[in-house]
Homo-oligomer: A and B are copies of this chain.
Amino acid sequence: MVDVSDKQETKRTAVAFSQVQMPREVLDQIEQGKVKKGDVLAVAQVAGVMAAKNTPQWIPMCHPLPLTGIDIRFEPVREGKQAVIKIYAEVKTTGKTGVEMEALTAAQAAALTIYDMCKALDKGMVIGPTYLLKKTGGKSGDFKREER
């Protein structure tokens, strides 16, 4: 694990994006509370928060950090017969390294949980693309994903 002993503690934030693509009917059932396994987005949010806190357990070379804020938001979008749940995970800390991995891990865990809770309806759902939207703080400076 890279030595960050001499880095400054600064305020850091990161926002990651992921999404789950699914048939429109699956989103309908999620929003109508008909999914047998429970309240999909509430459980996915908890999963994202827990995963952010556990990131150094998932990602071997990731430094432990005392996270000060985690926010997971979902944005469902319908497109014809298809639908997508967009996932935004924002993480904050004051620490010696950034929280990009925490944000990405939170987004992935939320996406996996949505898949898990709906897989009895459709096993063909697709997760991602998943990427970093932006980060602030730290010596390497801010990052903002360009529109492509």
Interface string of A38-71 (1 = CB under 8 A from B): 1100110111011111101111111111111111
Q: Given the complex of chains A and B, what is the CA–CA distance between A71 and B5 in angstroms?
A: 13
Contact digits for A3-23, partner B, Cβ 8 Å, 1 yes 0 no: 111010001000000100000
Among the listed B45, B62, B108, which residue makes an inter-chain contact with A38, where contact means beta carbons less than 8 Å apart?
A: B45
Which one of B2, B140, B143 contacts A37 once the chains associate, using CB atoms below 8 Å? Answer: B2
Contacts of A126 in B (CB 8 A): 128-131
Binds B, one of A24-32, A74-82, A112-120: A112-120
Taken together, the copies of this chain in the complex come to 6
A50 with B60, Cβ < 8 A, contacts A38-B45, A105-B112 known: yes
Interface residues on A, range: 35 or more
> Using Cβ atoms and an 8 Å threshold, which residues of chain B touch A51?
58
